[in-house]
């Protein structure tokens, strides 16, 4: 199976005044196409830094990161923006929907930067909202939606570009149990039926249980990496 | 890209519509700036046009020549006090300078005019018939006197509107009436079309014209026959005025036998000179308008920049999200620039409407003549665009340089 993510001896070093913070220390990681991975770790373990690098929001200080065969380190910010737009979908803990903007337009947002015609944007965003079960709520504003529904809009926004990688950073952190289960079900379905690679950061063990592989990060390095579920037999639908 | 631009404009308009009060207050500076500039330029243009119309009442392409001043033991008299210009000067000028289409001469005095039991003190002008053609003076009734009247020193008079109003009952026909000037009877043969105020503010209609010869022999009692109060010349083309004036100077100096070191014993003014004074005044006005416009647009622009900086801070997370889903630097830059330009353009359009309304109101209430020119509106519009662009650049650039990770974490 093709490797989607290849991290090779990745270092991330910040300077805060005179203090040097080593957030990642020679981390190596390979994630294949179609995997569902949970990344766990205490705060300060470096998992947020890792997510930023995996999501092409940040670049490693040292080492190499290849996404879908593309060397991402050393790319210019605009190239990174293009890669995020084409390859990656983000789901955040706090939803991060644009306020006072309808669900449909929120879901449209990534297509906005692709220069598609308004009609195409609409059609694809409507389809994405249908996939997360939000048909009929296209014109609702975030304030008119429940937390679970807002997170589903965010997932639709992540899906609308048909990304090869979906990064979910504590997607259930702000949700009640029932909404959490709904969201996880959607993610599982996307992974199982459409073969989208999902990387999930979470504190909660039962949320991590949805994933087939669990990576624990500590002090900027991989502490443990284990398969928790037998490999599901999904069809390798490329994104 | 164009779909992106349209959507960004729509988004910008919606954001502005959402914060109507804030947007309105932000635009106020631009609205007032553009509005006041349009109103002031329109009023200024109207005033300028009125002055130009006054200058035009002098006639077309006119040159005026005054005699010099008398000088007795160093005490100098008033302009025109010397009797250095004569009728033969005027006739000779016309003969020797082909550029001159015509020449005329005149002499004036204020005298009592009597008609029936009414009287009036008005300016009596003894003129050559050509004077009336040079000054483009037309008649409401009757007509001008002729060369024959001049040669025979006929007792005929042309009277202006002010004189008509003061001597005649309304509705009474002045043409054919006998009036007396200094007890000499004159037949009124023409009534002049009113010209209104001169560029200097004098009433040009308080006037009586009689043949020059009649004036000097029968009314004024001139001691030095043939001396004139002023001479006039005209050219066919306005461009010929300076050249004609220079030639007049040479001819007159030669005729008056002036040595090289002696100064002129006459003064020449052309219509162009008089116009230049007015132009200078309107230039000063334009400079002041420009200063006012710059200051108000500057204030308006700073308002826009201020509100955009607030907006960038308020929407930091939104910017972070946009960057995360693939917005490039130029997308964010464009978004905020378009918002700035939308603000300033909407302000500009409102200002144009306000300016036109204010101008119309000025005409309506104060009765001032105003001219709203399309140029001013175009320039005002362009200026508001430039202001939006200029003052939007800093906040937009600031937004586009945000770090996506920090922007997403911003509380």
pLDDT (0 to 100) of residue B43: 83
Whether A115 and B3 lie within 8 Å, measured CB to CB: yes
Q: Render A97-141 in DSSP notation, one character per residue.
A: PPTTS-HHHHHHHHHHTTT--HHHHHHHHHHHHHHTT-TT-TT--
Is residue A176 a part of any domain in this protein? yes
* Helix runs in B19-114, H state only: 20-56, 87-96
- Mean pLDDT over A38-45 rounds to 90
Query: Which residue in A has a C-alpha nearest to residue B402's C-alpha?
Result: A77
Which of A53-62, A186-195, B19-28 is predicted least confidently? B19-28
Among chain A, residues having any CB pair with chain B shorter than 8 Å are 52, 55, 57-58, 77-78, 81-82, 84-86, 90, 92, 96-100, 109-110, 112-118, 157, 161
| A230 Cα to chain B: minimum distance (Å) | 33
pLDDT (0 to 100) of residue B74: 62
* Listed residue (B244, B230, B272) closest to B98, CA to CA: B244
pLDDT (0 to 100) of residue A234: 52
pLDDT at B20 over 90: no
The range of the structural domain enclosing residue A193 comes to 3-227
Is residue B284 a part of any domain in this protein? yes
pLDDT (0 to 100) of residue B272: 74
DSSP annotation of B168 reads S
Q: How many CA atoms lie within 13 A of B366 on its CB side?
A: 11
Which of A11-25, B178-192, B278-292, B337-351 is predicted least confidently? B278-292
Count of C-beta atoms within a 10 Å radius of residue B304: 27
pLDDT at A99 over 70: yes
Is residue B73 a part of any domain in this protein? no
Rounded to whole angstroms, what are the CA distances from B351 to B40, B271, B338, B344? 13, 38, 19, 10
Helices (H) and strands (E) in chain B, counts: 13, 12
Is residue B40 a part of any domain in this protein? yes
Q: Report the distance separating Cα A45 and Cα A218, nearest Å.
A: 5
Residues B251 and B362 in one domain: no
Residues B236 and B290 in one domain: no
pLDDT (0 to 100) of residue B373: 86
Tokens of A145: 């939606």
Surface of B (326-355) touching A: CB under 8 A: 326-331
Q: Which pLDDT tens digit goes with each residue over A115-174?
A: 888 899 999 999 999 999 999 999 999 999 999 999 999 999 999 999 999 999 999 999
Chain B residues in contact with A90 by the CB 8 A cut-off are 324-325
Q: Report the distance separating Cα A102 and Cα A129, nearest Å.
A: 12
Chain A residues in contact with B408 by the CB 8 A cut-off are 57, 92, 96
Residues 6+ apart with CB under 8 A from B312: B319, B336, B395, B398, B399
Dihedral over alpha carbons B343, B345, B350, B352 (to 10 degrees): 150
Q: Report the distance separating Cα B191 and Cα B173, nearest Å.
A: 9
Mean pLDDT (chain A) is 90
Is residue A111 a part of any domain in this protein? yes
Residues B138 and B256 in one domain: yes
Whether B3 and A116 lie within 8 Å, measured CB to CB: yes
Whether A112 and B404 lie within 8 Å, measured CB to CB: no
Is residue B299 exposed (0-12), middle (13-18) or buried (19+ Cβ within 10 Å)?
middle
Chain B residues in contact with A110 by the CB 8 A cut-off are 325-326
Residues B195 and B306 in one domain: no
| A110 Cα to chain B: minimum distance (Å) | 5
Q: How many domains does chain A have?
A: 1
Residues B215 and B107 in one domain: yes
pLDDT (0 to 100) of residue A237: 47
Query: pLDDT tier at B293 (50, 70, 90 boundaries)?
Result: confident
Is residue B362 a part of any domain in this protein? yes
Residues B248 and B128 in one domain: yes
pLDDT (0 to 100) of residue B135: 85
Q: Which pLDDT tens digit goes with each residue over B80-99?
A: 556 678 888 888 888 888 88
pLDDT at A186 over 90: yes
- Token pair 């200002």 is found at B351
CB pairs A-B closer than 8 Å: 66
* Listed residue (B360, B286, B340, B342) closest to B13, CA to CA: B342
Is residue A78 a part of any domain in this protein? yes
- In the three-class reduction of DSSP (H, G, I as helix; E, B as strand; rest coil), residue B88 is classed as helix
Surface of B (309-328) touching A: CB under 8 A: 317-318, 320-328
Q: Render chain A in DSSP notation, one character per residue.
A: --EEEEEEEEEEEEEETTEEEEEEEEEEEEEETT-EEEEE--TTSSHHHHHHHHTTSS--SEEEEEETTEE-TT--HHHHHHHHHHHEEEE-TT--PPTTS-HHHHHHHHHHTTT--HHHHHHHHHHHHHHTT-TT-TT--GGGS-HHHHHHHHHHHHHTT--SEEEEESTTTTS-HHHHHHHHHHHHHHHHHH--EEEEE-S-HHHHTTSSEEEEEETTEEEEEEE-SPPP-------
Residues 6+ apart with CB under 8 A from B199: B51, B54, B55, B57, B58, B274, B278
pLDDT (0 to 100) of residue B401: 94
pLDDT at A226 over 60: yes
Chain B residues in contact with A78 by the CB 8 A cut-off are 328-330
DSSP annotation of B258 reads -
Residues B258 and B293 in one domain: no
Q: Are A36 and A198 in contact (CB under 8 A)?
A: yes
Residues B19 and B135 in one domain: no
Is residue A76 a part of any domain in this protein? yes
- Mean pLDDT over A210-214 rounds to 93
pLDDT at B104 over 50: yes
- Mean pLDDT over B356-385 rounds to 89
Whether A84 and B324 lie within 8 Å, measured CB to CB: yes
* Listed residue (B277, B270, B262) closest to B244, CA to CA: B270
Residues B172 and B320 in one domain: no
The range of the structural domain enclosing residue B298 comes to 2-54+277-409
Q: Report the distance separating Cα B100 and Cα B183, nearest Å.
A: 38
Beta bridge partners of A222: A217
pLDDT (0 to 100) of residue B18: 83
pLDDT (0 to 100) of residue B223: 65
Residues B256 and B311 in one domain: no
Tokens of B209: 């014209």
Query: pLDDT tier at A238 (50, 70, 90 boundaries)?
Result: very low
Out of B1, B326, B404, whose CB is closest to A82?
B326
**Length of chain B counted residue by residue:** 411
Is residue A130 a part of any domain in this protein? yes
Is residue B310 a part of any domain in this protein? yes
- Mean pLDDT over B397-408 rounds to 93
| A87 Cα to chain B: minimum distance (Å) | 10
Is residue B165 a part of any domain in this protein? yes
| B31 Cα to chain A: minimum distance (Å) | 28
pLDDT at B1 over 80: no
Chain A residues in contact with B317 by the CB 8 A cut-off are 96
Of the residues B264, B293, B317, the one at which a domain ends:
B264
Surface of B (365-404) touching A: CB under 8 A: 404
Which of A124-138, A199-213, B132-146 is predicted least confidently? B132-146
Residues B240 and B117 in one domain: yes
Query: pLDDT tier at B77 (50, 70, 90 boundaries)?
Result: low
pLDDT (0 to 100) of residue B80: 54
CATH code for the domain in which residue A32 is found: 3.40.50.300
| B397 Cα to chain A: minimum distance (Å) | 15
Query: Which residue in A has a C-alpha nearest to residue B319's C-alpha?
Result: A98
pLDDT (0 to 100) of residue B268: 87
Q: Are B370 and B45 in contact (CB under 8 A)?
A: yes
Chain B residues in contact with A82 by the CB 8 A cut-off are 326, 328
- Mean pLDDT over B247-269 rounds to 86
Chain A residues in contact with B325 by the CB 8 A cut-off are 84-85, 90, 109-110, 113, 157, 161
Whether A157 and B325 lie within 8 Å, measured CB to CB: yes
Out of B317, B326, B408, whose CB is closest to A84?
B326
Of the residues B202, B233, B264, the one at which a domain ends:
B264
| Mutation site for A-interface testing, chosen from B1, B322, B326 by largest number of A Cβ within 10 Å | B326
pLDDT (0 to 100) of residue A203: 87
pLDDT at A40 over 80: yes
Is residue B63 a part of any domain in this protein? no
Count of C-beta atoms within a 10 Å radius of residue B118: 12
Whether A81 and B326 lie within 8 Å, measured CB to CB: yes
pLDDT over 70 percentage in chain B:
94
Residues B115 and B172 in one domain: yes
Is residue A168 exposed (0-12), middle (13-18) or buried (19+ Cβ within 10 Å)?
buried
Q: Report the distance separating Cα A157 and Cα A216, nearest Å.
A: 28
Q: How many domains does chain B have?
A: 2
- Token pair 């033991």 is found at B73
């Amino acid at each position: 199976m093709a490797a989607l993510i290849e991290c090779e001896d990745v270092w991330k070093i910040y300077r805060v005044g005179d203090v040097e913070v080593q957030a990642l220390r020679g981390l190596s990681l390979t994630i294949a196409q179609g995997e569902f991975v949970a990344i766990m770790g205490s705060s300060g373990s470096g998992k947020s830094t890792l997510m930023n690098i995996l999501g092409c929001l940040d670049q490693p200080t040292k080492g190499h990161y290849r996404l879908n065969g593309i060397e991402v380190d050393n790319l210019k910010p605009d190239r990174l923006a293009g890669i995020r737009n084409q390859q990656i979908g983000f789901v955040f803990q706090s939803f991060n929907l644009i306020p006072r903007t309808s669900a449909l337009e929120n879901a449209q947002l990534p297509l906005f930067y692709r220069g598609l015609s308004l009609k195409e944007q609409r059609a694809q965003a409507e389809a994405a909202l249908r996939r997360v079960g939000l048909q009929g709520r296209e014109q609702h504003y975030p304030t008119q939606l429940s937390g679970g529904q807002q997170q589903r809009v965010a997932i639709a926004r992540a899906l609308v570009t048909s990304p090869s990688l979906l990064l979910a950073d504590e997607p259930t952190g702000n949700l009640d149990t029932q909404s959490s289960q709904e969201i996880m079900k959607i993610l599982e379905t996307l992974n199982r039926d459409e073969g989208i690679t999902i990387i999930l950061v979470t504190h909660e063990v039962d949320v991590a249980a949805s994933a087939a592989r669990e990576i624990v990060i500590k002090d900027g390095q991989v502490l443990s990496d284990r398969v928790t579920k037998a490999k599901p037999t999904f069809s390798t639908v490329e994104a | 890209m164009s779909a992106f631009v349209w959507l960004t404009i729509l988004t910008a308009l919606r954001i502005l519509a959402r914060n109507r009060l804030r947007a309105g207050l932000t635009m106020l500076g631009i609205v007032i700036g553009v509005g006041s500039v349009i109103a002031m330029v329109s009023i200024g243009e109207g005033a300028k046009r009125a002055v130009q119309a006054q200058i035009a009442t002098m006639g077309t392409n006119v040159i005026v020549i005054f005699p010099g001043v008398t000088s007795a033991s160093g005490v100098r008299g008033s302009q025109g006090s010397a009797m250095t210009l004569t009728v033969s000067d005027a006739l000779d000028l016309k003969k020797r300078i082909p550029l001159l289409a015509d020449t005329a001469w005149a002499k004036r005095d204020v005298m009592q005019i009597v008609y029936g039991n009414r009287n009036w003190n008005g300016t009596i002008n003894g003129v050559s018939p050509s004077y009336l053609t040079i000054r483009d003076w037309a008649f409401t009734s009757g007509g001008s006197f002729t060369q024959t009247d001049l040669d025979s020193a006929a007792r005929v008079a042309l009277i202006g509107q002010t004189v008509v109003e003061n001597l005649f009952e309304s509705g009474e026909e002045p043409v054919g009436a006998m009036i007396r000037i200094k007890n000499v009877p004159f037949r009124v043969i023409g009534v002049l079309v009113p010209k209104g105020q001169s560029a200097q503010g004098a009433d040009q209609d308080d006037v009586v014209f009689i043949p020059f010869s009649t004036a000097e022999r029968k009314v004024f009692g001139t001691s030095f026959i043939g001396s004139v109060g002023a001479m006039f010349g005209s050219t066919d083309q306005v461009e010929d005025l300076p050249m004609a004036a220079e030639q007049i100077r040479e001819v007159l100096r030669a005729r008056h036998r002036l040595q090289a070191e002696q100064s002129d014993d006459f003064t020449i003014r052309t219509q162009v000179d008089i116009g230049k004074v007015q132009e200078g005044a309107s230039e000063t006005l334009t400079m002041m308008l420009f200063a006012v416009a710059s200051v108000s647009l500057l204030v308006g622009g700073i308002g826009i920049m201020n509100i955009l900086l607030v907006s960038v801070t308020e929407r930091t997370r939104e910017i972070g999200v946009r960057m995360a889903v693939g917005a490039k630097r130029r997308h964010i830059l464009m978004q905020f620039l378009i918002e700035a330009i939308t603000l300033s353009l909407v302000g500009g359009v409102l200002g144009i409407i306000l300016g036109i309304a204010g101008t119309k109101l000025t005409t309506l209430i104060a009765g001032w003549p105003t001219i709203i020119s399309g140029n001013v509106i175009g320039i005002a519009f362009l200026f508001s665009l430039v202001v939006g662009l200029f003052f939007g650049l800093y906040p937009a650039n600031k937004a586009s340089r945000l770090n996506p990770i920090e922007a997403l974490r911003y509380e």
